[in-house]
Amino acid sequence: MIGAAMPADARPATLRMRGIRKSFPGVVALDGVDLEVAPGEVHVLLGENGAGKSTLMKILSGATLCDEGVIELDGQRVLVRDPAHAQALGIRIIYQELNLVPQLSAAENVFLGREPTRGLGFVDRARIERETRSTLAELGVPIDVARPVSELGIAQQQMVEVAKALHGDLRLLIMDEPTSALTASEISALFGTIRRLTASGVAVIYISHRLEEVARIGDRVTVLRDGRRVATHRVGEVSISELVRLMANRELKEHFPRRRSPRGEELLRVEGLRGGILRDVAFSLHRGEVVGLAGLLGAGRTELARAITGADPPSAGTVAIKGEAITPRAPRDAIRRGVGFLPEDRKTQGLVLERSVTENLALPSTPRLSPFGWIQARAERALAASAVESLRIRTPSLEQAVVFLSGGNQQKVVLGKWLAADVDVLVIDEPTRGIDVAAKVEIYEEMNRLTARGAGILMVSSELPELLGMSDRILVMREGRIVAELDALAATQEQVLGAALGQAAGQPA
Amino acid sequence: MRAAPWLARRGRQLGTLVGLCLLSGLLSVLSPHFLSVSNLRNVLEQTAINAVVAVGMTFGIVSGGIDLSVGSIVAVSGVLLASALAAGAPVPVAIAAGLAAGALCGLANGLLVTRGRLPPFIATLGMMSVARGAALVFTDGRPVSGFEAGFRSLATERVLGLPAPVLVVAVSYVAAHLLLTRTRFGRYVYAIGGNEEATRLSGVAVRFHKTMVYVLCGATSALAAVLLTARLNSAQPIAGMMYELDAIAATVIGGTSLLGGSGSLGGTLVGALIMGVLRNGLNLLGVSSYLQQIVIGAVIIVAVLVDSLLKRPGR
């Protein structure tokens, strides 16, 4: 299973990729990329969306073949034919979107496809549960292995994926944005697990957009840009701003370019909101303001965003929009009054993936664009073109299906829907999750423009730097209530985290 | 470069059209009668009814649903229409009654799907049996016939040299195509089929629009019943058996994805013509009706198989 630890220089590199080239019709995705990962190393792979990270990992995991180039595993030249072959070679990949069967238990998922049986072909349930329990205990995460994974949290589900990856000979583990849905304490647990794996000689390729994680978990970092490797550095020999510069090929002056706008009249007043986990939530949002909503996963932030916007109607309480108090029953109740909602998962909630950029951008504005039910094609195209222009959405045409855009550009389309609809209040849930640095900055800039022209933004985020950097005020939620309100300019990460954890503000977490 | 996206979008429809041409070419070689004017007119008349049912089916499938009750709705609205005619109602009134019956069955389907939260497959499977039973109860299992000659002219009249049913098909497809591609309703049908939740969160009244899709599907089935009743000069409570198969086949062969969110009426029309030409050709070649069922089933499977093979993400 997990081999004994050996000094890194005693064996050849676990993985050596040389001159990897891959092109798709019209695009060169990888143009001669080299990558080397030593045993026991955590090698961070950075790059904007579209830089070639996913393609490189797909080649490694057998999901696609490269046109040219050499892959060596432990000094042996290999050709990864398909995902099953990659498995046999000891390569495992854990995708950002987890691949578990929700109805099956943790143990059943771990043993899926290789269930040990007792006579008559019945699955030896006791054995798979016993073995899964011991694997998870080794990883330092006690989980009830008999429960369906749908009842587990995202972090626990991820540990089940790791346990699944551990069977057989594991040489190289690829993790694609593993922390994008995790809270700070869950990230610490995951990093502990990764260290336990690398201590036993497993090599890890770690893909992330969270630059602060590079120093915490990485040994070396490779930056890809436009299908080429631009640099490989030891962590500690390179600064975060240098990495950002390498990725984006331009100096990003500041990560969080918040330009504060004068606070205007009240736009939104929420009172006594209940429903699901929410307990008497009350707050207000003014013109020109960005209010950040902090809290651990499950604290009720997304629930609050969905209640205000009518996505999940609240059971009690009022939402007053520009003075008009309603209890939203459906999204269109809120939208009609000028409230837009960017949901946390753009693919399942934000976009109609197979439809065009134009149709997606125009969707909330369709009633206005179609007097008497007939769509004004010219007005619609003008609306889409102006959103593409102002958000710098990179798309070959307005007719392109959004499924073909990169994550950052897809997110800009979701944001663009609400710009085009000209809303006054924008509720955004994890606006920059899983998108590249340049797209993040462009989204922040758009938030600045919106507040400058008098809109108010309520932003749910799990990234403390983003909350502190982009908000004017921060509301901290815990167990369905707002437990603290902090001035973002004066607050520290420790204060926000402390309040979210239920400690007095100011105390270390 | 400029042609590439156009081809990507239209390629599937062109493929279906090429299929139709190849099939017609093959049949014209195999049978000297195939290309005769009377035979081609015959094909068009035979295709007309399925083509009209497939209009509603296309909306249903594009919206991410399906309607298995179309054949039974053809029967129940046909016997209602015929009974009204036999009772001496004026033709427009009788037609309106038939269309209303179809639309009402569709409304029931739509409400079961949107308010009752039933899967469309189950709701319309139930309606398939209920509507069929209603047609049998209403007529006591007997055909309804004996109406004025004026009604029959709907099947026999020529307009601009074309049989009236063909004209009905043409008008239906142009109107439905405009409805699907140029109106708010059509835009929402695509959006709902593509991602219902994202569409709801964008402020669209999803349940209302989905219900209307089933109403439309019921109404086009009733329109097909008008054509069928005029053609046969009587209405049978057992009419329209297996129409759902032909309509789904025409839609799917025409490139509409069963997953919802994409498809076109142009594709469906070509799909319906392929089904019509195929049946006609098999008759001309003297293939037994038992064997025909096997051939037609196989063609449907192969068409969808080729489609899914082409769509499989390239390595």
Instruction: Write out pLDDT tens, residues B214-259.
Output: 999 999 999 999 999 999 999 999 999 999 999 999 999 998 988 8
Please give the average per-residue pLDDT across A320-326, as a whole number: 94
CA end-to-end distance (rounded Å), chain A: 37
Average pLDDT of chain A to the nearest whole number: 87
Range of the domain at B174: 12-311
8 Å CB contact of A352 and B190: yes
Q: Once rounded to an integer, what is the mean pLDDT over residues A439-443?
A: 89
Q: Is B86 exposed, middle or buried (0-12, 13-18, 19+ CB in 10 A)?
A: middle
Please tell me the distance from the alpha carbon of residue A451 to that of residue A289, in angstroms, as a whole number. Answer: 6
CATH of the domain at B53: 1.10.3470
Chain A contact set for B263 (CB, 8 A):
none
3-state secondary structure of A39: coil
User: For position A74, what pLDDT does the model report?
Assistant: 92
Q: Based on the structure, what is the number of domains in chain B?
A: 1
Question: Which residues of B make CB contacts under 8 Å with A?
Answer: 1, 4-5, 9, 182-185, 187-188, 190-191, 194-195, 197-205, 261-262, 315
Separation between Cα atoms, residue B13 and residue B6, nearest integer Å? 11
- Measured between CA atoms, the residue of chain A closest to residue B204 is A332
- Give the chain A residue nearest B183 (alpha carbons): A374
pLDDT in the model for residue A481: 94
Please give, rounded to a whole number of angstroms, the shortest distance from the CA of B202 to a CA of chain A. 5
Nearest CA in chain B to A331: B203
**Which of B201, B256, B262 is most worth mutating to test chain A (most A CB atoms within 10 A of its CB)?**
B201
- Between CA A190 and CA A182 the distance in angstroms is 9
> Is B1 part of any domain?
no
pLDDT for the residue numbered B186:
97
- Identify the band that residue B311 occupies on the pLDDT scale cut at 50, 70 and 90: low
Q: Which region among A239-253, A349-363, A480-494 has the lowest average model confidence (pLDDT)?
A: A239-253
- Mean pLDDT score, B120-148: 95
Q: Is-same-fold flag (A16-90+171-248; A256-338+423-440+447-509)?
A: yes
- Global pTM reads 0.76
Residues of chain A with C-beta less than 8 angstroms from the C-beta of B182: 374-375, 377
**CATH of region A256-338+423-440+447-509:** 3.40.50.300
Closest CA to B268 of B177, B171, B195: B177
Question: Tell me, what's the pLDDT at B104?
Answer: 98
Question: Alpha carbon of A90 to those of A203, A314, A484: distances in Å?
Answer: 10, 49, 48
Mean pLDDT of B63-83: 97
Q: Residue B142 pLDDT > 70, yes or no?
A: yes
Is the minimum CB–CB distance between A176 and chain B shorter than 8 Å? no
CB B200 within 8 A of CB A331: yes
Which of A343, A370, A373 shows the shortest C-beta gap to B201? A343
Q: Please list the residues that pair with A148 across neighbouring strands.
A: A105
A399 vs B contacts (CB less than 8 Å): 5, 9
Separation in Å, CA of B266 to nearest CA in chain A: 18
Split at pLDDT 50, 70, 90, the class of A5 is very low
Give me the phi and psi of A273, to 5 degrees please. -75, 130
CB of A366 within 8 Å of a chain B CB? The answer is: yes
Supply φ then ψ for residue B202, to 5 degrees.
-90, 5
pLDDT-derived band at A505 (thresholds 50, 70, 90) equals very low
In a domain, B59, yes or no: yes
User: For the ranges A24-28, B93-97, B132-136, which has the lowest average pLDDT?
Assistant: A24-28
Q: Tell me which of A82-91, A437-446, B58-67, B153-162 is least confident.
A: B153-162
Convert the pLDDT of each residue in B260-299 to its tens digit: 999 999 999 999 999 999 999 999 999 998 999 999 899 8
Residue A91 pLDDT > 70, yes or no? yes
Q: Does A376 touch chain B (CB under 8 A)?
A: no
- Average pLDDT over chain B reads 91
Give the per-residue pLDDT at A411: 95
CB contact under 8 A, A355 and B205: no
Q: Do B182 and A375 touch (CB under 8 A)?
A: yes
d(CA A60, CA B234): 67
CB contact under 8 A, B190 and A355: yes
**Whole-angstrom distance, CA of residue A57 vs CA of residue A92:** 10
The tokens of A429 are what? Answer: 């849930």
Q: Which chain A residue's Cα is nearest to B5? A: A400
Contact at CB, A364 and B9, closer than 8 angstroms: no
pLDDT-based confidence at A46, cuts 50/70/90?
confident
A373 token code pair: 């039910």
Cβ distance A477 to A276 under 8 Å? no
The pLDDT value given to residue A2? 41
By CA distance, what is B200's nearest residue in A? Answer: A331
Using the 8-state DSSP alphabet, how is residue A347 labeled?
I
Mean pLDDT of B197-210: 97
Report pLDDT for A317: 95
Q: What number does CATH give the domain A16-90+171-248?
A: 3.40.50.300
Contacts of B4 in chain A (CB under 8 A): 26
A65 close contact with B: CB closer than 8 A: yes
Q: In chain A, which residues have their Cβ closer than 8 Å to the Cβ of B191?
A: 352, 355, 359, 363
What pLDDT band is residue B199 in, cutting at 50, 70 and 90?
A: very high
Q: How many CA atoms lie within 13 A of B143 on its CB side?
A: 10
Distance CA B28, CA B38 (A): 14
> Region A379-383: what's the mean pLDDT?
96
The ranges assigned to domains in chain A are 16-90+171-248, 106-167, 256-338+423-440+447-509, 346-422
pLDDT for residue A507 is more than 70: no
Confidence band (pLDDT; 50, 70, 90) for A54?
Answer: confident
Is B3 inside any structural domain?
Answer: no
CB atoms within 10 A of CB A315: 12
- Given pLDDT bands bounded at 50, 70 and 90, which one contains residue A283? very high
Q: Model confidence at A3, in pLDDT bands (50, 70, 90)?
A: very low
Tokens of A8: 């890194």
Candidates A194, A224, A199; CA nearest to A35 is A224
Q: Is B75 within 8 Å of B246 (Cβ atoms)?
A: no
CA distance A184 to chain B (A): 29
Please indicate whether residue B12 or residue B178 has the higher confidence score (pLDDT). B178
Is the Cβ pair A350, B198 closer than 8 Å?
A: yes
pLDDT of residue B315: 38
Confidence (pLDDT) at A384: 97
Helices assigned H by DSSP within A139-258: 154-165, 184-199, 211-217, 240-248
In a domain, B5, yes or no: no
Closest CA to A281 of A314, A259, A326, A238: A314
Nearest residue in B to A350, CA atom: B198
Q: Is the pLDDT of residue B5 over 70?
A: no
Cα separation, A187 vs A164, in Å, equals 19
Q: What is the nearest CA distance from B303 to chain A, expressed in angstroms?
A: 21
Residue A251 has pLDDT above 60, yes or no: no
Residue B49 lies in a domain: yes
Mean pLDDT calculated for residue range A215-222: 92
Contact A374 B182 (CB under 8 A): yes
- For residue B240, CA distances in Å to A135, B222, B227 come to 60, 11, 12
Indicate yes or no: CB of B194 within 8 angstroms of CB of A370: no
Q: Write phi, then psi, for A168 (nearest 5 degrees).
A: 70, -160
> Which of the 8 DSSP states describes residue A149?
G
Q: What is the pLDDT of residue B30?
A: 92
Mean pLDDT of the A146-154 span: 85
Report the percentage of chain B scoring pLDDT > 90: 77
Residue B6 lies in a domain: no
Q: How far is residue A73's CA from residue A90's CA, in Å, rounded to a whole number?
A: 9
Higher pLDDT, A507 or B165: B165
Least Cα separation, residue B62 to chain A (angstroms): 12
Per-residue pLDDT band at A176 (split at 50, 70, 90): confident
* Pairwise CB contact (< 8 Å): B5 & A400: yes
Q: How many CB pairs under 8 A join A and B?
A: 85
Could B261 and A311 be called an inter-chain contact, meaning their C-beta atoms sit closer than 8 Å?
A: no
